[in-house]
Amino acid sequence: GQNIDQPTEMTATEGAIVQINCTYQTSGFNGLFWYQQHAGEAPTFLSYNVLDGLEEKGRFSSFLSRSKGYSYLLLKELQMKDSASYLCAVPHAGNMLTFGGGTRLMVKP
């Protein structure tokens, strides 16, 4: 089985940096995904971490620590369009992909 926890909501200011945490427990780690989902739309892929460390992709970075069962998504230079839900997901039992409850990020001017 697996258990994935994320904060429910976060608020940040335009131009700032925000870190969204995800902790997980899974039998047989096979990578961790981050997705972005705007209201009324389908989730879109942001990042995939398999090895420990930080992976940077423009304004977005994702960090993984397998020994701690912990990941975070770092968003820099926040823009209003970054207001969305951010979903952490972990595959288990091979490819069965399970999601956390998602973190709703509100960016304020």
Q: Which is nearer to other proteins, 69 or 100 (CB)?
A: 100
**Which of these segments, 55-63, 65-73, 76-84, 94-102, binds other proteins (CB under 8 A)?**
94-102
Distance of CA 39 to the CA centre of its chain: 16
4 within 8 A of 23, measured Cβ to Cβ: yes
Counting residues that bind other proteins (by CB under 8 A) gives: 21
Tokens standing for residue 16: 């700032």
34: amino acid identity, one letter: W
Q: Which is nearer to other proteins, 9 or 77 (CB)?
A: 9
Identify the DSSP state of 14.
T
102 lies in the binding site for other proteins (CB under 8 A) = yes
State the binding string over 59-88 for other proteins (x if CB under 8 A, else -).
----------------------------x-
Find tokens 């039992």 and name the residue.
93
